[in-house]
Amino acid sequence: MSEKKKELIRDLTVGSVPVTLLKFAMPLFLSGLLQTVYNMVDMIVVGRFVGTGGLSAVAIGGEVLQLITFFAMGFSNAGQIMISRYVGENRKDKVGMMIGTLFTFLTLAAITIMVIFLFTYRGIIHWLNTPEEIFEMTRQYSVTCVYGVLFIYGYNLVSAILRGMGDSKHPFMFIAIASVINIILDLLFVAVLHMGPFGAALATVIGQAVSFIFAIVLLYRNRAQFHFDFRPQSFRIYPEVFQPLLSLGIPMAIQSAAITFSMLFVNSYINTYGTTAVAVTGVARKLESMISIVSQSISSAGGAMIAQALGAGKIDRVPKVVYHALWIVAIPASVFAVITAFKPEWLFGLFSSDEAVLTMAITYIPVAMIQYLGATLRPANFALINGSGNSRLNLSVAVLDGIVCRIGLALLLGVALNWGIKGFWYGNAISGCVPFFIGSVYLYSGAWKSRASMPDAA
């Protein structure tokens, strides 16, 4: 192992907690920021050059894309945590086995999901109550993005491997490449060639493909450091690491799926309010994702730190990681809340100049404040739950957050209490605070301490 890799591992297990957390999270944050920006570029360019209909189509198409990527997110995150634990325990053979297993398993999953979607996409788009006037644009955007699902899965896979080994800088470089390509091609395809949402989706796929190719080349050139030889026979599923991967990955995938499906369920009601409501909700979600990337980067960095700390027997570091993760996210969340509260027209105006969109956007401000609160409270607790490899608790969070609370509150406020679209907005926002309460009980109970030794199955 190189001296640089050894230094990264030492930082994760014995370095100053806030400094290490920020050091490891910063590249994750920058990667997430770039990914969010290039996703937002699709909406900004389409909103400006196609109009509110095109903006709404991209918003719904983005929701459909989330539906087919939850599997990659769940198992990639699980693989990252498992690799971090193996690195912390210096089990190099298991690192190589996990890489081969992840490649094989997620490639098969990507192909399967892509084929299924190509036979069912019309039903999905109809289920979301997509307004008829934007159905064709939504179809074009969704189907085009689906053809790039192999690259999406591949990028998440390689990034998880790198981050599990303590390298969060290269994933940032890869997403930077994808972002630059996407922005250039968005302007070319949509603004110059007038290809509409299809052009925006094509730009995204090309950017992801190039990024994935660069990631694979890096991994291959440094294969000795990753304990994986890239021989054909190494691309297989190893039972000794596949079982713990499933134990941790299934609940994480279910958690991601539950949140995704519940949001789609809520959005299917929102979409019945017309293209203006769809556009406002889509823009609001993109703006909220700006603070969510801080939340997710701290959660991922904190999870890796906790996983390696437990693997190395450094139990006293775990509560410190949780506490520092909380205040680190609180600072940018507060800043963004102030901007949203006092400059909402400017924020939403970046995407659309439609007066109807800007007028409805004002009513979303209180909802956004609750969203920012949830984004502040969640990451520290997810870091603890995921980092300790507690698959059962992950599943509980998935069910309560994604299904019981989000769908239940949305139906209660939006339908039973007849709050209309605001009810669905508030139901979705309030449910985002649920993981904080579950994670806090888990932290103070001390139950996570029993996971200081690496189990063969979580």
pTM of the model: 0.69
Nearest CA-CA partner of 61 in 352, 285, 360, 282: 282
Average pLDDT over residues 413-423: 90
CB 276 within 8 A of CB 410: no
**pLDDT of 61:** 84
Residue pLDDT, tens place only, 165-199: 877 678 778 878 888 898 899 899 998 999 988 99
Model pLDDT for residues 372-388, shown as the tens digit of each residue:
898 888 888 888 887 88
Please report, for residues 282, 364, 370, the alpha-carbon distance to residue 411 in angstroms, rounded to integers and kept in the order given: 20, 18, 18
Q: What percent of the chain has pLDDT over 70?
A: 92
CB 436 within 8 A of CB 379: no
Greater confidence (353 vs 427) lies with 427
pLDDT per position as a tens digit, 210-248: 988 988 888 888 888 877 888 888 889 988 889 888 888
Report whether 68 contacts 117 (CB < 8 A).
yes
Q: Is the pLDDT of residue 31 over 80?
A: no
Which pLDDT score is estimated for 455?
43
Percent of the chain whose predicted confidence (pLDDT) is above 90: 7
Q: Which pLDDT score is estimated for 383?
A: 85
Give the burial string for 75-92 (b: 16+ CB within 10 Å, else e).
Answer: bbbbbbbbbbbbbbbebe
Tens digit of pLDDT for each residue in 52-67?
Answer: 888 888 888 887 887 7
Q: How confident is the model at residue 413 (pLDDT cuts 50, 70, 90)?
A: very high
Residue 456 — very low, low, confident or very high, per pLDDT cuts 50/70/90?
A: very low
Round the CA-based radius of gyration of the chain to a whole number and report it: 21
Confidence of residue 206 (pLDDT cuts 50, 70, 90): very high
Mean pLDDT of 136-157: 88
Residue 251 has pLDDT above 80, yes or no: no
- In whole angstroms, how far apart are CA 163 and each of 12, 57, 77, 387, 453? 12, 34, 10, 13, 21
Whether residue 13 has pLDDT greater than 60: no
pLDDT digits (tens, 9 = 90+) for 438-452: 888 888 888 888 765
Give pLDDT tens digits for 333-355.
888 888 888 888 888 887 878 88
Q: How confident is the model at residue 458 (pLDDT cuts 50, 70, 90)?
A: very low
> What is the model's pLDDT at position 160?
83
Comparing 395 with 149, the larger pLDDT belongs to: 149
Residue 2: is its pLDDT beyond 70? no
Measured torsion, CA atoms of residues 212, 215, 217, 222, in degrees rounded to the nearest 10: -160
Scan for tokens 């209660």, then name that residue: 412
Average pLDDT of the segment spanning 404-428: 88
Residue 79, pLDDT > 80, answer yes
